[in-house]
Chains A and B, each alone.
Chain A
């Protein structure tokens, strides 16, 4: 069952000469873990912002083509309403924090939904548990680590019980522990809770491990779409042109014949395919 359907989507920001997205068509199935790859300016963020309706509803732009997310047309409904179904996480969690306690931070979006107090409390408890922040309720959002802040941003999104989670470079400001925390929570939400995940991310070694599908964007267009195993080996020789690195073991395989029994993209695969 597809949860996202985009056909020939073109987005142009006011005053820009080129299209941020240029005729993009894709479908994403329920429960998929999809990674968006591409250089700066390739269209990753614009695609994320089109899916949650921020473009064109809050950041104005001309939009052509068709976009449907969980049966809704994002440009036609309020961003806040879509946020109940599509949670969004950005690269700077600190900018998303505004409340005095972790509990209030998660409650913020819920209070505006008009649901009863007991349900609100239960949702907050559940979502803090999902991201591993139980016991943090009374802490200040500004006095926890970056990884914890990003997980708090995820909890705020999850409290709305969304079906899709969109993460735009969620770990670029985090240290290795924070990155690991955010990736493992994201993976758990995808595998155990069945959330559809769409993530823009530069850490290709992690993406190779987690993603079912890669979408490689170049100048606002889709260059390639497929599994990490299909995509990474294809552009080993075009990393510079596309502005995306391939996993180091994939590069090794391309430069040394007969080292592996196939082309690995993850560490685990490289050890399995290594010919002793």
Chain B
């Protein structure tokens, strides 16, 4: 069990720029949470505190029973896996198999465990036929899958996906959405940093909205997309179906409709 507890977090970069100002938030094991906001709002800075890539300037971040400022990234990474937006920033090995092995070996798995886990994870992500391939020979979408699989192979309790659907086509997005559903079923915490509002609406239960270094909203997507003033302040555009249903005043128990299927039910 790894709950996340952020208390009075402030982060100032070495150049003096304050990126996050006094954020308090708690995330329980098993939650599906989106972090949204414009670039520069502080969302990436906030999230990078959860695996220790950044340490608080003030306040504290607790991951399970570990205070992040007391532990190095490689210890925290066992609990919180971070999947980069750009797989090229993450992938370096000469074959998919080596890439998947690296993290597993790093956290002390035996050769036998590594073999089993790679077999399982490559099956799960449809990578079995590419194990000997150089990741850079794969298309962007598959390379992104490799980045994700190599993190999930380490079985962290919490998985952070930074812009998972950027540059993906319909099938890529579908595959990512089904991975999120699987992780949810396994009781993992999934944190999605994204501008993809249909993804936020349909795959997560809670949205944290960052704006100008502050956390200005913490609630369900259906509450967020019904809140005109927050949407305006942050330039967030609800999914088309949500806007349509909002405009014709159809809601479900007073909250915004989030998907075509929900809309069909409400009409």
A267 to B237 Cα, complex, angstroms: 12
- Least Cβ–Cβ distance between B73 and chain A, in angstroms: 26
Contact of A256 (CB < 8 Å), options: B38, B198, B267: B267
A271 to B249 Cα, complex, angstroms: 11
Chain A residues engaging chain B, CB cutoff 8 angstroms: 38-41, 91, 145-146, 169, 172-180, 202, 205, 239-240, 242-245, 247-249, 251-252, 255-256, 259, 267, 270-271, 274
6 tightest A-B CB contacts, nearest first: A248-B241, A175-B39, A248-B240, A172-B167, A39-B169, A243-B170
Q: Which residues of B contact A39 (CB under 8 A)?
A: 169-171
| Chain B, 217-257, CB within 8 A of any chain A CB | 235-237, 239-241, 243-244, 247-248
Tell me whether B170 and A252 are in contact (CB under 8 A). no
- Indicate whether B156 reaches chain A with its CB closer than 8 angstroms: no
Q: Total A-B pairs in contact (CB under 8 Å)?
A: 82
Taking CB as reference atom, which chain B residue is nearest A245? B170
Q: Which residues of A contact B244 (CB under 8 A)?
A: 248-249, 252, 267, 270-271
Tell me whether B167 and A169 are in contact (CB under 8 A). yes
Tell me whether A40 and B140 are in contact (CB under 8 A). yes
Q: Which residues of A contact B141 (CB under 8 A)?
A: 40
Tell me whether B235 and A180 are in contact (CB under 8 A). yes
B interface, how many residues as a size bin? 20 to 34
Taking CB as reference atom, which chain B residue is nearest A169? B167
| Chain B, 11-28, CB within 8 A of any chain A CB | none
Tell me whether A271 and B169 are in contact (CB under 8 A). no
Contact of A243 (CB < 8 Å), options: B171, B237, B267: B171
- Indicate whether B71 reaches chain A with its CB closer than 8 angstroms: no
Contact of A176 (CB < 8 Å), options: B140, B195, B247, B267: B195
Between-chain CB contacts (< 8 Å), 19 pairs: A38-B169, A39-B169, A39-B170, A40-B141, A40-B169, A40-B172, A169-B167, A176-B38, A176-B237, A177-B38, A177-B39, A240-B170, A240-B171, A248-B244, A249-B240, A249-B244, A252-B260, A255-B264, A270-B240
Q: Which residues of B contact A249 (CB under 8 A)?
A: 240-241, 244
- Indicate whether B174 reaches chain A with its CB closer than 8 angstroms: yes
Q: Which residues of A contact B267 (CB under 8 A)?
A: 256, 259
A208 to B260 Cα, complex, angstroms: 17
